[in-house]
Structure 1
Amino acid sequence: MMFRARKSLLPIAAAAAAVLALTLTGCGGAPQASDGPVTLRFSWWGSDTRHKMTEKLIEAFEAENPNIKVQGEYGDWSGYWDKLATQVASQDAPDIIQMDAAYLGEYAGRGALLELKDVDLSKFDQPVADSGKVEGKQYAVTSGVNAMVVMANPALVAASGVSLPDDKTWTWDQLDSTAAAITQASGGKVYGTGQVNSDAAANLWFRQHGKSLFTNDGKLGFEESDLAEWYEYQAKMRDSKAVPPASVITEDATASIDQQGLSTGKFAMNMYWSNQLGALSKASGQDLEIRRPPSVDGNAADAQQFYKSSMFWSASSRTKHPAEAQKFIDFVTNNAKAGEIGLADRGIPANSDIRAAVVSKLTPADAKTAKFIDEISGELGGAVPVPPAGGSAAVEALTRYSLEVHFNRLSPQEAAKKALEEAKSAIL
């Protein structure tokens, strides 16, 4: 999750409180399909476009499974998690749940989710399949994937006269020096890059240094000295003017995507999730380029890149129809018809066969993203652990203290000490 697009954290407390109030037990033994008609409840959030597309997915599934009816429960993001928390607390959870990484660990850890043993993940890259695991058990299946990338405006880069290094071999130091050169060449009218202080960028940095943002047992995966080094890099970019002043970074973090620096021609580059290419290209009026993030040693194969699950499919541990619920999840994951209906709405398909089958039907921006996703599949590091309860508050603290460094109000060492204290106390 990037700081600029951080989702509201308020529902987490409600979800946690409701789930903590329950002691739920999963279904034991292999699930058996029902002999008669079955009705499944399925909840999801999203835009009106997603709502209509999901109804088509349901219709396609019901056409192939006439004994199963799917009852949709659609809502927007703002109220989705409070409603789900209430449903779980009252033992009335939907059979199938569109899930987010920020909540997966909490719901799975309290027994609210079904272990998905019967969904075929053979066409997933292993780290992608493992991203839905909590304590070694598959409680979620990725609906689609994104990757952290550097997006570049080729017109602004060309106007600066600065050449971008090969993205397979560039380093963090080269990102800094290249961006600083672009800023200088423009006389400060264009910054080489926007902020590079998101938790996703930090996670890449940590992974490339043999650490991680979180561990599989729900702890922080780095030490104070590791965080201080990351903040020292922030200070380096601040001093070189590779990035804008802290006040501009702060404003950009809360601006709508069409008003952010890359969209308005104020930044030549910036780090984003790959699925944002279409919106950014449209807003900027430029055919933006996707580039790999930098690495420590200048070798993309060692960059510990990872696919981020745009969202997940999960099922309730209390469902009366575990076999049918998993059949639906398997359908939306692995069925070619489902792939043609969903395209890239929930991320680039995680199933490699479906991805290849639908690429010709994607928009130009989504097709470019899908091509990039395929290109880096051999460069992936291990799966990113599911964030623990309180993880969102922990990463918010890391980002907030990075801004203290950019404002030059705290040294990297002082910021690291304070941020680590807050992050540790945030994790339940």
Structure 2
Amino acid sequence: MTPRHLAPLTGTRRRTAIGATGAALVAAFALAGCSSAGPGEAVTTLDPDEHVSISFTFWGNDVRAALYDEAVAAFEEQHPNIDVKVLFLSPNDYWEKRQIEASGGGLPDVVTMDLAYLRQYSESGSLLDLEPYLGSIIQTDAIEDQVLSAGVVEDTTTAIPLSTNSWGMFLNTTLLAEIGVDGFDGGTWDDYYTWIGEVSDAASAKGIDAWGGVDPTTRIENFELQLRAEGANLFDEDGTPGFDEERLAEFWNSVADQRADGQVAPQQRVAEVQPLTAFDAALTASDATWDNTGAGFLGNLGEGYEIELVAPPLTEEGGKDLFLKASQMYSIAANSDHPAAAATLIDFLVNSPESGEIFGTNRGLPASATARDAADLDELSQTIADYEASIAERLGDAPPVPIVGYGSLHEKFRELGEELNFGTITVDEAVEQFFTEMGVVVDQ
């Protein structure tokens, strides 16, 4: 594809803000005491003469809360018999509050869900099977099947995606021009590793404190993409890994030469600029990550920088490595007394033109074409939309919903990658440690 320049960005109702409820949750937690009892028979019709009250919760800040106030007001105007109590929390406190509610069987009627937690809450029986509402109350024609499949756990739909993103590669074209090297224009992962080295060597020769990129093998997502291109998943539905020790060692060894020659950003320099990433701090000319991080990159880089979004490398020709990830989702609590009203709210927040117009891309690129068409996309958002359209031939089905405890494995992978770059561990030692951790998580 031809990359597009991303120009620098310029630029109370019954809402209840709940304070912190204690220490932040670790990624792998157990949902204790959640009952799996849902309604014996799904209520899929809404009585317009019956006045009901439902609760809805989301994470975010005051900006997002104001948008939800506006959206809920529009919903209640269309459905005067449904009263919505809106509850919101900061991202750090949101899941701790949900755990407390779930353990007592008292989740709000409509819960904003994250893919990382979907399996935990689904397998605990905390979420309602949404199948009876699909196509009746919750319209699905405007949402791609690949996206809808992200809300399915063990053949049961327990969440509806409201926004999407995909893995991409950002290039700092301003920095590349200063270094005097063209941007990465496609190829295999080995081609990309070679390009990183060329950029780093050129920057060093000019005395520029920059590198072609960080070590790509510190990110489990890059490993997952390579596995998907080969026809495997990172983890299958039952938790079986799609790789063995030899394949993981091959991945971590693939950048060994660049590490040894100092051609990837040194881990010490990466640590020095935190909480910024190396790309945010203009230490690297490329970064493979989720496409919705572009606004943050531009904001942190500041005026004078331009970036491009291109497709990541692909080694297996015709491989379906990429997928549209559900960045946020909506679920209904299994204990909801008014599931039809809850489903009606979900349909409005996901599909309605009013919702698309109100939120734009605040929650991510709308998953529903109806909402997306109504959204006013700025240049960055339009670029992301164009990018996701451009990778259609590389899009495969969404991978199985992450296994319980995936968050801890994600963090372990990152930590081991950093140790490899510090030179404090060998690849064989890293592989052994990861498989030990994986065995604990998968068997729990």
The answer as to 2:47 corresponding to 1:30 is no
Look up the match of 2:86: 72
Which letter maps to 1:24? Answer: S
Structure 2 counterpart of 1:293, one-letter code? P
**Alpha-carbon distance in 2 for matches of 1:251, 1:51:** 34
Hey, what's the Cα distance between the residues in 2 that align with 1:20 and 1:215? 25
**How far apart in 2 are the matches of 1:339 and 1:332?**
8
Secondary structure at 1:302 match in 2:
coil
Give 5+ residue unaligned stretches, structure 1: 1-7
Aligned: 1:59 with 2:93: no
1:350 to 347, 354, 367: 367
Report matched runs for 1:403-418 at 5 Å: 403-418=418-433
1:390 aligns with 2:405: yes
Could you list the per-position Cα deviations for residues 80-119 of structure 1 after superposition, in whole angstroms to 9, with x for gaps in the alignment?
1121111122222100001111211000001100111222
Following TM superposition, by how much is the alpha carbon of 1:26 offset from its aligned partner in structure 2, in angstroms? 2.2
Contact 1:114 1:315 in 2 (8 A): yes
Residue by residue, what CA displacement relative to the aligned partner does 1:358-389 show, whole Å, maximum 9, x if unpaired? 2xx22221221122122223321121211121
Determine whether 1:153 maps to 2:168: no
User: Using the alignment, how far apart are the partners of 2:79 and 2:385 within structure 1?
Assistant: 30
The residue that corresponds to 1:283 in the other structure is 300
Question: Partner of 2:14 in structure 1?
Answer: none
Q: Aligned residue for 2:163?
A: 144
Deviation at 1:250, TM superposition (A): 4.1
Which residue of structure 2 lines up, in the alignment, with residue 292 of structure 1? 311
In 2: Cα distance, 1:81 partner to 1:414 partner: 34
Please state how far the C-alpha of 1:43 moved relative to its aligned partner.
0.7
Give the Cα separation in 2 of the matches to 1:276 and 1:407.
Answer: 26
- What are the superposed Cα offsets for residues 28-48 of structure 1, whole Å, 9 maximum, x if unpaired? 333142451011100111011
Q: CA deviation at 1:240?
A: 4.5
- In structure 2, the residue matched to 1:42 is 56
Match of 1:182 among 190, 193, 199: 199
The count of corresponding residues between Structure 1 and Structure 2 is: 409
Q: Which residue of 2 aligns with 1:111?
A: 125
Q: Distance in 1 between matches of 2:271 and 2:215?
A: 9
Q: Pick one of 249, 254, 259 that aligns with 1:238.
A: 259
Cα distance in structure 2, aligned partners of 1:245 and 1:147: 27
Counterpart mapping for 1:87-102 below 5 A: 87-102=101-116
Match of 2:219 in 1: 198
Match for 2:341: what amino acid? E
Distance in 1 (alpha carbons) for counterparts of 2:401 and 2:294: 25
* Contact 1:132-1:138 at 8 Å conserved across structures: yes
Are the counterparts in 1 of residues 354 and 374 from structure 2 also a CA contact under 8 Å?
Answer: no
Let me know the Cα RMSD of the aligned residues: 2.1
The TM-score, its normalising length taken from structure 2, stands at 0.87
Match of 1:4 in 2: none
| Equivalent residues of 1:394, 1:423 under 8 A apart | yes
Q: Which letter maps to 1:155?
A: T
Within-5 A mapping of 1:359-378: 361-378=376-393
State the TM-score, normalized to the length of structure 1. Answer: 0.90
Is the Cα contact below 8 Å between 1:177 and 1:242 reproduced in 2?
no
Q: Contact 1:294/1:303 (CA < 8 Å) preserved in 2?
A: no
**Number of the residue aligned with 1:11:** 25
Structure 2 gaps of 5+ residues are 1-21
Q: Structure 1: which 4+ aligned runs deviate by more than 4 Å?
A: none
Match of 2:96 in 1: 82
State the 1:251 CA deviation. 4.4
Q: Is the 8 A contact 2:24 2:93 kept in 1?
A: no
2:185 aligns to what SS in structure 1?
A: coil
For the residues of structure 2 that align with 1:237 and 1:211, how far apart are their CA atoms? 27
Q: Between Structure 1 and Structure 2, which shows a larger proportion of helix residues?
A: 1
Structural mapping, 1:218-233, within 5 Å: 218-233=239-254
Q: CA deviation at 1:232?
A: 1.0
Distance in structure 2 (CA, Å) of the matches to 1:113 and 1:395 = 25
Tell me the equivalent position of 2:151.
Answer: 132
